[in-house]
Structure formats: structure tokens, C-alpha cells
Structure 1
Amino acid sequence: MKDTNHPLPVIVEQAELTLAGLQTTMSLAHNTTMQLWQTFGPLKKSIHNKSNGGSYSVQCYADNFMSIPFTPETKFVKWAAVAVFNEDDIPKELEVLKIPKGKWAVFSYKGTISDFGKFAQYVYQEWLPSSGYQLDHRPHYEFMASDYLGPNHPDAQEEVWIPIV
């Protein structure tokens, strides 16, 4: 049954993805996402081998992500990045993250960052347990196209990529 508030995902196979960006360790209680993107923004312009015009917000969680309670204090690694064709000519201030190939549940999300928690709760506590899939231990990410309206705009749209097996 389709939840009209939360559309069903498209299941896709994705090849390895090479990203260039910045990372930080944080938690929801000590959220430094805005500072990360403010630091990355000017550096993004110096990347000449981007493979698309969008940006990636990546979360790397511990192996036991789904087996222990995720609390506001749970630490994870957050990336602000762009996709690149290869690792050549990446500014020295940036790092490379390779997201392994695999199967993904890709959700369309429209709304503000303040409503994203409800959406994530639906994905992990309702959709995933009833989907027949299991969470895979690969990074989770959001893709924002070049015309992304920003995290506080009610019409902002992004793709939410959840690694599954």
C-alpha cells in the first residue's frame, strides 16, 4: 500500500561513485552541517572535473547502525561533496570518497530540513522493515540537483539514496 505522504522508492543498481569533498564527524545534537557546507562551497568552484552539476550530502554510519538505538548523540561522518569523473586534478584541500556499487532505494523528498526527521523515521522504521530488503553497510546520501532551493525552502527537492541488499 502506498503512503501518500511518503512515496515508495525506486530500486536501482548504481555503479561506484567517486566524490570529492570535505568531511567531519558530528551528531544530530552537535550538528555542524551548515559550517561544513559553508566551508565546502567556495572550494567546490575549484573542482574542474565534476561529472554532474549536483551536490551530495553523505552520511557514513557505524556497522551497527540499525542494531543499536540511533540517538541525537550518535556520531557519524558527514560529507559535503560533488561527483567527479576521476581523482585527477582535485584541489589539495579536498578528499576523495568512493561509494561502492550496489543496490539502492531512491526516495524523492520535497520539503524542509525540519521535516526530514519524520521522513527518515518512515524510511527506517516503516518502509525498510516491511520492504523485504535489509540495510547494507555503505554510505547513505542525498543528491541535490544544481537548482536545489536550499534546506529551508518548502519546495526544495532532493533524492535520498538508502543502501540495501
Structure 2
Amino acid sequence: MSIKPAIQILDEKKLLGMRVQMNFIGNRTQELWQKFMPRKNEIENKVSEELYSVEVYPSLSYFDQFNPATNFEKWAAVPVSTIDNSPTGLESLIIPAGLYAVFSFKGRDSEAPAMYQHILGNWLPNSKYQLDNRPHFAVMGEKYKNNDPDSEEEFWIPIKPKV
């Protein structure tokens, strides 16, 4: 698998959505999106129709000794111009500005873990970057088709130059 990311600087991103605590053993992603999708049209200040699937890990040590039972925060959200006046039951998340490795992904949802494993296990150690402690996220735009082999999305991995 040879994958070359685009290296991009992300401006601060404001999101509105819902979150759950979960781990990779008790994956609650589907449950989260089923709760969020009927509510997304209540958000009046969306800047696009893109969907953001965000992971907020407790620290960088999460990846040092990976344990699929360790919890992290999972978000289902949309980008907004302002986080004021959010509908009841929805929360805001601000992704700080910073450097990201952006990987294009095409395939079924079930194939994504292998892509992440390649990024973190092969690409990252052999690059001039290391993980940064900011949210990881996927952007699902108009080419995203839930669990379809032709579905396309982008994986944004927070990075910083190795020291």
C-alpha cells in the first residue's frame, strides 16, 4: 500500500454536533450518527453540507501502547460559521489550527481500519512528522456513500515536524 498524503495547514474549524465516549471494542459510531443525522437540519449556520467524524484522544500516549478498550471521544458534526445559538442537545467543538496529513480514502467503512493502521504504522514512522495532540477527523463530502465500495472521504491526521 503506497499512500501519499497532502500536507495542509488547517485554519481553526468550528463544529456543532454530538459526542459519545467509546472505545474500539464498544464501537458506538453507528449509534452516534443515527442520533445526529435527524438533528443536523436544525443547524442554521452550516458552512457546508460536509459531515465530520471526529476522534478526540485523551493524549498522545493513547497511540504508544494501543489498547482497543481505552476510551476516547467520538463526534458526529458539521462545520459552522459560529457556535452561538446551537440547538438544544447539540454541542460545539473547536478544532485548533495546525498542520495535518490529509489522506484520500476510497472504499467501504470496514476497510478504513487497515488504512489507519498503514498511516500510523508505516507512513508516519517513515515520514518527517510525528503525531500532534489535536483531533483526528474524517471529512465526508458529496462523494461519500455510506459503506459503498465507491465511497470517498478524507482522513485528516494531526502532525508536527519530528524534533
Query: Any idea what SS the aligned residue of 1:20 has?
Result: strand
How many positions carry a matched residue from both structures?
Answer: 159
Q: Report Cα offsets for 1:100-128 as digits up to 9, x if no partner.
A: 00000000001111111111110000000
Structure 1: tracts of 5 or more residues without a match? none
> For residue 159 of structure 2, what is the amino acid of its counterpart?
I
Tell me the equivalent position of 2:14. Answer: 18
Match of 2:149 among 134, 148, 154: 154
Match of 2:104 among 75, 100, 108: 108
Matched, 1:122 2:118: yes
Contact in 2 for aligned 1:110/1:155 (Cα 8 Å): yes
Alpha-carbon distance, 1:6 to partner: 4.1
Q: Distance in 1 between matches of 2:144 and 2:57?
A: 25
Q: Distance in 1 between matches of 2:121 and 2:98?
A: 22
Tell me the equivalent position of 1:66. Answer: 63
Alpha-carbon distance, 1:66 to partner: 2.5
Q: Distance in 2 between matches of 1:60 and 1:153?
A: 26
> For residue 38 of structure 2, what is the amino acid of its counterpart?
P
Alpha-carbon distance, 1:65 to partner: 2.1
Q: Which runs of 4+ in 1 moved over 4 A?
A: none
Identity %: 43
> For residue 32 of structure 1, what is the amino acid of its counterpart?
R
Contact in 2 for aligned 1:49/1:89 (Cα 8 Å): no
Q: Distance in 1 between matches of 2:118 and 2:157?
A: 13
Tell me the equivalent position of 1:28. Answer: 24
Q: Please tell me the root mean square deviation across aligned C-alpha atoms, in Å.
A: 1.0
TM-score normalised by length of structure 1: 0.93
> For residue 137 of structure 2, what is the amino acid of its counterpart?
Y
Structure 2: tracts of 5 or more residues without a match? none
